[in-house]
Structure 1
Amino acid sequence: MSRLALSRPALGVLAGWASLSVVLALTTVGPTANWGLLDGGGDLDVYRRGAWHVLSGLPLYDFPVDKKLFYTYTPFSALVFAPLELLPAEPDRHIWLALNLAVLIAVVVQSWRLLGYRVDRALVGVSVLMALGCVFVEPVRTTLFFGQINLILMLLILSDTVGATRSRLAGIGTGLAAGIKLTPLYFVLYFLTLRQRRVAVTAVAVFAATVVVGLILLPRDSLTYWAGTFLRSERIGDRLGHPSNQSLRGMLARLLDDEPPVWLWLALAVLIGVASLTLAVWLHRTGERLLSVTVVGLSSAVVSPFSWTHHWVWVVPLMVWFVHRALTCWRWWLAPAALFVALGAWPFWFRNLADPRIGFYLFPYTHVPEVLLRNAYLWLFAVLLIWLGVRAARSVAGAKAAGEEPVRAEE
């Protein structure tokens, strides 16, 4: 493993980026607008109320648990969230915010590890700067603001990816993540396509164990959830076509101005899933382990039935990969800068908008076509996928011309 060494200009860029990000996140939307970074915790309240329901013997899914918000995670997750009830009612959001910031730094550290860097004080310091630089990027900012669990789930999956070839515990994190929220099951397909069967089997076994635990401790809620409640995406969002739903299904709903046919959404989702996993395998075989799992993480948000923008936290490892490339070619700095601008939370530009948690996808579309703005995350993902597809095609063609043997994925 190599040591991460940054030049003074590169450190200056990261320090400036981190400072700008923190200042913007704390000042552009103040607490008076009820959207300041330190004035949130809505989803944390839902987690706590869900835990309170199961501890009090109340049904978890029959009615909203907090205001008009339904509990949408698994019964097992409510058991995991039970310790949150020990937190004091007012400081809980700040404690949870601090925990999420620590997890964000750990995500960046694990991303560097997947790139082959050794963990030392210099790497941790750079990771702190990068984590702060991502605070203003909307998926991260809204995860921190709402008190979401996305960063924790991503860290569990990344840790499995880091240890996939050397740790017998690899797969436990993904299984636990899936036991809390079903979307991480998508990564089981990723491990299978890489022929990392042991990791995939461990993840499935741990997930199954979480289901069993839920059935034993919360039998009524478990039967309600697994009998069909988990399929009801309207419990997550009241309008499928809302621009904040940056999933393929949401995009189709906006384009068709109606709920898309299930067959159309599934057909396109399968195509995108196959293309993403194929590219992920190629990236892994060519040594791009971080970019490989990042593509899968981003595609999981695309094919999911409902993906709020804060589900797109996989842009953080993508940022790390771009910075890694920028260390050898300064032009790569343009990529994280473009992501910072495109996915930044810029509500202060239009203070009269009804929903101030926005990135570009909710801007007035006077000069830019609505179809581009309202689906910004999907188009960015499409650009990434096409670019990687072209790279893969050229690489395969070059290898065939040179008569080289294809590299096999690690077992």
Structure 2
Amino acid sequence: MNAGRRRVVTVLALVTVLAVAIAVLPGHRGWFDVGVYHGAVGHWMRGGDLYEWTTGNGYGFTYPPFAAVSMVPMATLAWYPTIVANLLLTTLAAAFLLHLLVDPLARRHGWTRWYALALACCLLAGLNPVRDTVSFGQVNLLLVALVYLDLWLLERGSRLAGVGVGLAAAVKLTPAVFIGYLLVTGRWRAAATAAGTAVGATMIAAALAPDATRTFFTEALWDTDRVGVLAYVSNQSLLGLVARLDPERPDRRLWLLLVVAVLAVWALRVRRAVREGDERAGFALTGVAACLVSPVTWVHHLVWLVPGLVVLAASTRLWPPVDATARRRVRAGVVGYVVLCSGLVWVFANGSAGPWGFVGANAYVWVSIGMLALLPIGRADTDDHSGFTEHCGAVGAPRGVATDRQR
């Protein structure tokens, strides 16, 4: 069998294994979140209160009004077409991200591009956060794609850089951390564009939906009961970790101390990343930090860790590893990926008492902390950069650039 046929067989085998595993293993979420979007926006379009509508078990719309405005077309669709539209948009977002993040890596290593992207698709589909995003019908991958549109624009020196971050922050608050990234790294124009876009989108929503805007910013934003139980195992943020120490009285002071520590490490590392021309590491670190400092980071929000896995893969030759550092990176990457695929945290959904329970229930938090501290910055190893850097230079990339749930 020649190399081309072996690649086709490998990809088909992986797709088959993934399809069977996803179909057989428990964990499908029944399109819960897209159901919330569809129900709440439909209720709103019929004259109801956007933030008053809830499901039978009490979950309602938790995003800013601009998110509802952007979802208005959903109100014209029946239930199954809504699911199809959500899947189509999620697929397009994933395709954009994989092309942006993986294609340069494939060029650098001289891999067959279709094969590298096909394997990346399989690896992406295996991740627990991605599976949850798809089966909840969540918007996470769409938001990551919007933010990474700005990476693409920054690498090309475009004046439009910041628009994607601004739109994502107007839809959901977590991506606003990337405005902080642009400020910390001295991207004043892009930061102003992002902030202006977010404010402009919010003002448009306020003009179109003044009552919903008033309700969100005066009531819904501050009502933590709308989001869910902080100690629930799906909340893989620092506050979730702290809450699991004492579910009745989470120590907010400890949480704030941890947040300050994470932001300090993040600021130091992203500034270094930009100094060394590694914009992709800077973006990846910011996504990791956003997951850690957000009060609520459901498992499906952890799609923000995906770019970090690609940065780790891009930092050195994957196989065979060329030195001890490369071997450590490969081992760390494999362990992190396997943990994120495993669904380990769900084993402790009904209780996380004892030291092993605490370790296992916060497994994804540990992966996030490890990525924040250890993600490689800059590409000090120089094995076979020629094709990769040539490609980056062709598009004008800077030196060294690898050119909720609702409840």
Distance, in Å, in 2 between the alignment partners of 1:181 and 1:286 is 30
CA contact (8 A) 1:240 1:259 kept: no
Counterpart in the other structure of 1:398:
none
Given the alignment of the two structures, is residue 73 of structure 1 paired with residue 63 of structure 2, yes or no? yes
Displacement after TM superposition at 1:241 (Å): 0.7
1:1-400 to structure 2, matched below 5 A, reads: 19-29=16-26, 35-36=27-28, 40-64=30-54, 67-112=57-102, 123=113, 126-165=116-155, 166-237=157-228, 239-325=229-315, 327-331=317-321, 333-345=330-342, 359=346, 362=349, 369-388=356-375
Higher relative contact order by CA 8 Å / sep ≥ 6: 1 or 2? 2
2:286 partner amino acid: V
Aligned with 2:154: secondary structure?
Answer: coil
Aligned with 1:344: secondary structure?
Answer: helix
CA contact (8 A) 1:342 1:360 kept: no
Displacement after TM superposition at 1:301 (Å): 0.9
CA contact (8 A) 1:115 1:290 kept: no
Q: Can you list the C-alpha shifts for 1:24-60, whole angstroms capped at 9, x where unaligned?
A: 223323xxxxx44xx7211011111222122112111
Cα 1:129–1:359 shift into 2, 3 Å: farther
Higher alpha-carbon deviation: 141-150 or 326-335: 326-335
Distance, in Å, in 1 between the alignment partners of 2:351 and 2:218 is 41
Gaps of 5+ in 2: 322-328, 382-397, 402-407
Distance, in Å, in 1 between the alignment partners of 2:309 and 2:14 is 12
Cα 1:325–1:22 shift into 2, 3 Å: farther
Distance, in Å, in 2 between the alignment partners of 1:66 and 1:97 is 24
Higher alpha-carbon deviation: 291-300 or 151-160: 291-300
RMSD of Structure 2 on Structure 1 (CA): 3.5
Displacement after TM superposition at 1:103 (Å): 1.5
Higher alpha-carbon deviation: 150-159 or 124-133: 124-133
Displacement after TM superposition at 1:19 (Å): 4.9
Aligned with 2:308: secondary structure?
Answer: helix
TM-score by length of 1: 0.79
Distance, in Å, in 1 between the alignment partners of 2:357 and 2:153 is 43
Percent identity for Structure 1 against Structure 2:
27
Displacement after TM superposition at 1:219 (Å): 0.7
CA contact (8 A) 1:284 1:409 kept: no
Higher alpha-carbon deviation: 147-156 or 223-232: 223-232
Aligned with 2:230: secondary structure?
Answer: coil
2:356 partner amino acid: P
CA contact (8 A) 2:102 2:116 kept: no
Counterpart in the other structure of 1:353:
none
Cα 1:333–1:125 shift into 2, 3 Å: same
Higher alpha-carbon deviation: 330-339 or 152-161: 330-339
Q: Can you list the C-alpha shifts for 1:47-88, whole angstroms capped at 9, x where unaligned?
A: 112221221121111342565211100111111011122333
- From the two aligned structures, give the one with the greater helix fraction: 2
Cα 1:364–1:230 shift into 2, 3 Å: closer
Distance, in Å, in 2 between the alignment partners of 1:327 and 1:236 is 42
Gaps of 5+ in 1: 1-5, 30-34, 348-357, 396-406
Displacement after TM superposition at 1:256 (Å): 2.7
Displacement after TM superposition at 1:321 (Å): 2.5
